[in-house]
Amino acid sequence: RFNSLTQDVEKEKRMSCRPYIMMPYLASILLVATTIMMLSFTTGTLGVTAISGDAAPQKDFSGMKMIFLTSVIFHSYLIGIVAGKISEESVAAGFKHAAILVVIACVAAKVVPLFIAI
């Protein structure tokens, strides 16, 4: 009796947490997209800074882009660990979600700039 009650409580808890499993994935995609948009607008603004009448010298923002995208991918990895803890109640399961989220973040980092001129 106690065992079946415990199983019912565990099942109910898993069912109540199910909608929250997709949130880390959406958060990771939004994090990558907003970071790339912010980089796009920032580099566009900094690229315009020149004395009036003179052409603005081309600046290299690759270092800044690399720092931001690396931090976004690392953050997606940590979000994946949390997603595994939420969904399957173990940090070990988080590595599966972390790997998926890192791949999603890398793909989003390649796809989003196609829609936004950086």
pLDDT, tens only, 64-106: 888 998 999 999 999 999 888 888 888 888 999 999 999 988 9
Are 65 and 109 spatial neighbours (Cβ–Cβ below 8 Å)? Answer: no
pLDDT, tens only, 18-41: 778 888 888 888 998 899 888 888
Whole-model pTM? 0.75
Show me where the domains of the chain are located. Answer: 20-115
Sign of CA dihedral 97, 28, 76, 66: positive
